[in-house]
Structure 1
Amino acid sequence: MTEIKKLPKRDEVPVALTWDLTTIFKDDAAAHAAMKQVENKISSVLKFKGKLQESSDSLLQVIQLELAIQNDLEHIYVYAELKNDQDTVNNKNQALMDQVASFVANVSAKLAWIDPEILAIPEEKLAKFQAEDAALRPYSHFLEVLQLRKNHVLSSKEEALLAGASSIFDSSSKIFGILDNSDLKFPFVKNAEGETVQLSQGMYATLLQSTDQEVRKQAFQQLYAVYEQFRNTFAATLSGEVKVHNFTAQIRGFKDARQAAMSQNAIPETVYTNLVSEVNSHLDLLHRYVSLRKKILNLKELHMYDLYTPITGKSPLSYSYSEAKKEAKQALQILGEDYVSHVQEAFDNRWIDVVENQGKRSGAYSSGVYGTNPFMLLNWQDDLENLFTLVHEMGHSMHSYYTTHNQPYQYGDYAIFVAEIASTTNENLLTQFLLDKYDDPQIKLYVLNHYLDGFKGTVYRQTQFAEFEQFIHEADANGEALTAEMMSDFYGKLNHRYYGDAVINDPQIKSEWTRIPHFYYNYYVYQYATGFAAASSLANGMTSQRSQAREKYLNYLKSGSSDFPLNVMKKAGVDMTKTDYLEDAFAMFEKRLNEFEALL
């Protein structure tokens, strides 16, 4: 009888392959103790309420106290979130996460008067405070960013109400997360070796790369059969999330949710519209690539589940986790010994939660908090894709490491807009490393295929997601009901426009929106595409040994939020207000598509 491979339970995972959360808190009791300490600190802040205009010292003390409390809250929240993500079916972890979310909302409500009161200080007086008190000067950009929000910050009472309701506003996202990671039960399917394996998010990605079309088809149909059972529930959760975005934007005086989201990082909306326009004007390259895939795979019909299997057949490269660590270090050597030494720290000191287990959050991410090491969640599979995932998330983690070790707390984080640039720069560096390392045409073909698929999945696919996201926000703002039928109809047509006539627009793909967690992130997805394009330019600068390219890149990693994101990127050498970086990215895609065809 064929052995059925099941995912291990959390307590069955070797400790060495789990992250060490004791660098945040020793245990749950320490996290609870930290919450009590935060409550004690709040009284120190409240005594300044109504007095911020009296002196620069009062303003300074409140800023410092608030930032200290925020750092404490981040430690508590990140600890609870990572504990929950490692095992979402653990009731104790769920209870801690819920308690912490409520606690953070309660504290935020108590501190909500601070921003309105600072913004009520006349600009002349605020400038005088900063001029006469040198201790305030390190917070000048912090105050500048706050001033940009002046027209969108409400009264103290209204801000307190919104802050107190934050955990309620997060309900749709939480419900989606629990459904997606815990409650959905996936069937057992056959892999290419005939083994019975349990379908999961991680296993699904692996099965779609199978060279056996029947394996891909089975995984695709079985996965969507599960999601389609709950598509009305997913429509309700996504609709609820969109309504929160639109409601928040409206009461803060923004014209729409997109403007509200992008204003947080001072990103002009032209960056978004330029992306959508450039991608749509280059859909011919995607159609060409999709048609090539159909021809080389020798398929009478190319389906959506055929878009992820390597065109060149089974991968000539595979990596155990141990082998992947060595390869990652070699690929990232171009960033210098200091960078690689910190990568080694991550491997040696359990910064990474490696393998998939029952109840573990799907996908991969990098997280952390100022004052601790970064943390990485993986769901490891022994393939090239997971090597790319490793270097991708390592890019995030090293970005966090360099930022927190070079910036004070108030600038010790970075905008989402620049976050994906660090991760995808690493991906681009790995691609070039592999192309340079191997002379074997089959390996080169496979790596080029991987790059083309990565570009397709990031620049094209994420922009497709962005168009869907814009559609549902506009529809809700116009009073249209976001039903499962309505969203599926639009998504199916959008998908067909992107991939063209060469691929069968399988009916299941209309439901893809049900399983995309990023639609709950409020205009996040477009930044994957802009980030990949910018990363292409930065990586090319380093691999072609452009003068000071590496130094400028490392300075970007160290900048945190000490300047506006667009300014940080300009210093690194990429002006993202223009379309040049997008055009360069499509030129690279076409160049490597030509190389791929020539090698074939």
Structure 2
Amino acid sequence: MKKLISVVITFAILTYPTLGWAKEQQEHIVSYENRREIPNQYKWKLETMYRNQKEWEEDVHKVVRESEKFKRKYKGKLTKSPSHMKKALDDLLVLSRMEEKAYIYAQLAFDVNQSNPALQSMTDKSENMSTALYENTSWFKPEVISIPKRQMKKYLKDVELSKYKKVLKNMMHSKSHTLSKEMEGLLAKVSPMLGTGSNFYEMLEKDLRFPAILDENQQKVPLTRANYPAFMENKNREVRRVAFQTYYGTLANFQDSFAETLGTEVKADNIYAKVRHYPSALEASLQANHIPVKVYDNLIKSVHKGLPQLHRYMKLKKKMLAVEKLHMYDIHVPVMAEGSSYIPYERAQEMVLAGLKPLGKQYTKQIKQAFQNGWVDVYATEDKRSGAYQWGAYDAHPYVLLNYQGTKNDVYTLAHELGHAMNSFYSNKKQPYITSGYTTFTAEVASTLNETLLWNHEYKQAKSREEKISLLNQRLEDFRTTLFRQTQFAEFEEQIHELEQRGESLNAETLKKLYLDINKKYYGPAVESDQEIAMEWARIPHFYNSFYVYQYATSFAASAALSQQIMKEGTHAVTRIQDKLLSAGGSRSPILMLKETGIDMSKSQPIDEAMEVFGETLDELEKLLD
């Protein structure tokens, strides 16, 4: 399956309402059996992309037809003249733009109604369209980089090609990793096979069923991949234990299938890197965005230095929960009861707007319009894709998928995904199509900045000791689940790629042992090493988008620094962030863009400073508990 680079799925923070609430509270919970029941104001409006399926099909056929014409018209003729090269690039952009819109439309339609066979057929057509475009244009880059240096210098100086200067330079930069026309064509043909692991994982995850378990009232309740996080927050420890053991026990029943799918994905990553002459899959992944490998290495090293702080937090959590042994199924439970069990979606909108007020009137005004104009698909149904993401095409407004269940986490998910949406909105507004696409490295900065600002607002408004304790614990959990946990995932991901590259088998037992060892290292002696957690790798979809998760951690550190800038400088910092980051798209390298906002991610300093904030937050919590 085509890698959905612009998709951000926040699987870790999707939750369902806490089970066992009082009946009077349950009456206020909004839920729907199927999509037909959901009022239109809670569903995204895809008709702003295409008025009907006929329009969509016309574009799909047009992409395939025109890409074939493109190949006949330009292949072998790019050296004819600068004007001919410009026409080729112009036509290629038109095709790419049309393909992007058609592909995303089909995927968005399917993601909210995955049991619909007609929508599945649409996604299949869109996949075939994308493959056809890839096959018919795969020769283009090899032909560009085969142009002699002297002639390319002339092209780069030509006025007609001025807007494509960056594109051509990037192509030349990757010359050593670009294959011959014939090999690129062959790679294009087999590219759908490289997504086999990811495709099979999605189907396996969708079809997997878990046994029902007993809640605290001894009533049988369903356990699903979507509501599992809510069970981990349940106040009843026995319910948590049973849910934990049942969930991972079920995954373990299919451990060989999960190991095969992940192993296939890793093997494909390594094959791709080897074919393109990269020393590793990690370097191949980072090179596309000009991210030095030392950024990845610095993250893991800096987080390792901060692990004693995490161990200290786990020791404090053990004390706060008053348990003799702290198990992995205990670490997610809130240490203080929330002030409100269910947060209506309209209230969540108000909370987000209040929290993001420091970003200015224009920013919040646009978010209000997003709420009113069908950007967000709000409520969960059985056949809707789990998690949350933001996605969109250049020729349409951004779209946000939620599975809103009224928890505090869901409010923060809304803020997070709107950060991505506004990043897309500003980039598309300020940048031409060719430089509008921002990298995943900076994408998570925009989203986690929104979460940080929302938390800052809530903490300022907190009046009671209990509120402050709850919010401080929430902030520490943000650090644990983003800076520490995502780095833990990144370390695991790097190691499994290295194992496969050395020719070692990524069987279930190998994966379980490696994951359990890393988990022990991160959580420390205060947490029991539950054997079930060794299967956690089987529920992490991000492992099928290679070397993605580390960016959650680096972005979290960067956004923490940017929020400090906003608090100290106000409007000046906001203007700088919006101009240099949110509106910059892919016009410059992500490392340079962040440097221009005052954050140097090529050094360990931002991570080290984030660790200091974590320690200070922990100090503050300990003082309130004394």
| Interval containing the TM-score (normalised by the shorter chain) | over 0.9
**Shift in Å, 1:146:** 1.8
Equivalent residues in 2 for 1:318-397, closer than 5 Å: 318-397=342-421
Corresponding position of 2:573 = 549
Structure 1: distance between partners of 2:261 and 2:208 = 15
Residue 514 of structure 2 corresponds to residue 490 of structure 1: yes
Corresponding position of 1:278 = 302
Corresponding position of 1:187 = 211
**Shift in Å, 1:441:** 1.6
Residue 78 of structure 2 corresponds to residue 57 of structure 1: no
Report how many aligned residue pairs link the two structures: 597
Contact 1:7 1:198 in 2 (8 A): no
Residue 162 of structure 2 corresponds to residue 137 of structure 1: yes
Q: Secondary structure at the match of 2:400?
A: strand
Q: Deviations over 1:189-240 (max 9, x none)?
A: 4555766543233322222122221222222222223222211111111011
Q: CA RMSD in A?
A: 1.9
2:246 counterpart letter in structure 1: Q
Equivalent residues in 2 for 1:453-532, closer than 5 Å: 453-532=477-556
Q: Deviations over 1:74-107 (max 9, x none)?
A: 1111112112211222222222212221221122
Structure 1: distance between partners of 2:41 and 2:570 = 40
Residue 232 of structure 2 corresponds to residue 208 of structure 1: yes
Structure 2: distance between partners of 1:507 and 1:105 = 42
TM normalised by structure 2 equals 0.92
Equivalent residues in 2 for 1:288-327, closer than 5 Å: 288-315=312-339, 318-327=342-351
**Shift in Å, 1:531:** 0.7
Q: Secondary structure at the match of 1:354?
A: strand
**Shift in Å, 1:255:** 0.3
Equivalent residues in 2 for 1:63-74, closer than 5 Å: 63-74=89-100
Corresponding position of 1:593 = 618
Residue 23 of structure 2 corresponds to residue 23 of structure 1: no
1:402 counterpart letter in structure 2: Y
Corresponding position of 1:126 = 152
1:150 counterpart letter in structure 2: K
In the alignment, structure 1 segments of 5+ residues that lack a partner are none
Corresponding position of 2:34 = 9
Q: Deviations over 1:520-542 (max 9, x none)?
A: 10110111110101111011111
**Shift in Å, 1:445:** 1.2
Contact 1:364 1:376 in 2 (8 A): yes
In the alignment, structure 2 segments of 5+ residues that lack a partner are 1-19
Alpha-carbon spacing, 1:377–1:144, altered in 2? closer, same or farther (3 Å):
same
**Shift in Å, 1:548:** 2.2
Structure 2: distance between partners of 1:352 and 1:241 = 31
TM normalised by structure 1 equals 0.96
Structure 2: distance between partners of 1:410 and 1:197 = 50
Contact 1:45 1:66 in 2 (8 A): no
Contact 2:32 2:38 in 1 (8 A): no
Structure 2: distance between partners of 1:541 and 1:591 = 18
1:537 counterpart letter in structure 2: A
Q: Deviations over 1:160-198 (max 9, x none)?
A: 111222222112101111221x21123334555766543
Residue 533 of structure 2 corresponds to residue 533 of structure 1: no
Which of 403, 424, 437 is the matching residue for 2:427?
403
Structure 2: distance between partners of 1:458 and 1:427 = 12
Residue 446 of structure 2 corresponds to residue 419 of structure 1: no
Equivalent residues in 2 for 1:557-572, closer than 5 Å: 557-572=582-597
Corresponding position of 2:121 = 95
- Residue range with higher mean Cα deviation, 588-597 or 21-30: 21-30
Contact 1:411 1:562 in 2 (8 A): yes
Q: Secondary structure at the match of 2:74?
A: coil
2:153 counterpart letter in structure 1: A
Q: Deviations over 1:105-148 (max 9, x none)?
A: 12201111111111112233223223232x32122222222222
1:95 counterpart letter in structure 2: S
Corresponding position of 1:113 = 139
Structure 2: distance between partners of 1:437 and 1:122 = 64
Q: Deviations over 1:427-482 (max 9, x none)?
A: 11111110111222211111111110011001110111011101110111111111
**Shift in Å, 1:36:** 1.5
- Residue range with higher mean Cα deviation, 260-269 or 436-445: 436-445
Structure 2: distance between partners of 1:313 and 1:325 = 22
Q: Secondary structure at the match of 2:172?
A: helix
2:145 counterpart letter in structure 1: L
Structure 1: distance between partners of 2:53 and 2:530 = 47
Alpha-carbon spacing, 1:194–1:558, altered in 2? closer, same or farther (3 Å):
farther
1:69 counterpart letter in structure 2: L
Relative contact order (C-alpha < 8 Å, sep 6+): which is higher?
2
Q: Deviations over 1:500-557 (max 9, x none)?
A: 1111111110000001000010110111110101111011111223672111111110
Which of 229, 239, 244 is the matching residue for 1:220?
244
**Shift in Å, 1:45:** 4.9
Q: Secondary structure at the match of 1:124?
A: helix
2:287 counterpart letter in structure 1: S
Identity of matched residues, %? 35
Structure 1: distance between partners of 2:70 and 2:442 = 35
Corresponding position of 2:111 = 85
Structure 1: distance between partners of 2:302 and 2:335 = 26
Residue 270 of structure 2 corresponds to residue 246 of structure 1: yes
Corresponding position of 1:76 = 102
Q: Deviations over 1:370-414 (max 9, x none)?
A: 110111111111111111111011101100110001000001111
Structure 1: distance between partners of 2:619 and 2:488 = 24
**Shift in Å, 1:21:** 1.3
Which of 188, 211, 217 is the matching residue for 1:163?
188
Alpha-carbon spacing, 1:343–1:403, altered in 2? closer, same or farther (3 Å):
same
Q: Deviations over 1:562-597 (max 9, x none)?
A: 011111111111011111111111111111111111
- Residue range with higher mean Cα deviation, 216-225 or 294-303: 216-225
Corresponding position of 1:267 = 291
Structure 2: distance between partners of 1:61 and 1:328 = 45
Corresponding position of 2:603 = 578
Corresponding position of 2:258 = 234
Contact 1:366 1:374 in 2 (8 A): yes
Q: Secondary structure at the match of 1:300?
A: coil
Structure 1: distance between partners of 2:225 and 2:126 = 27
Q: Deviations over 1:280-336 (max 9, x none)?
A: 011000000001000010011111111111122345575211100011011111101
Q: Secondary structure at the match of 2:587?
A: coil
- Residue range with higher mean Cα deviation, 340-349 or 316-325: 316-325
Alpha-carbon spacing, 1:126–1:494, altered in 2? closer, same or farther (3 Å):
same
Q: Deviations over 1:321-372 (max 9, x none)?
A: 1100011011111101111111112110111111111121111111111110
Q: Secondary structure at the match of 1:453?
A: helix
Alpha-carbon spacing, 1:507–1:140, altered in 2? closer, same or farther (3 Å):
same
1:103 counterpart letter in structure 2: M
Contact 1:141 1:563 in 2 (8 A): no
Contact 1:192 1:210 in 2 (8 A): no
Structure 1: distance between partners of 2:213 and 2:156 = 65
Structure 2: distance between partners of 1:468 and 1:317 = 35
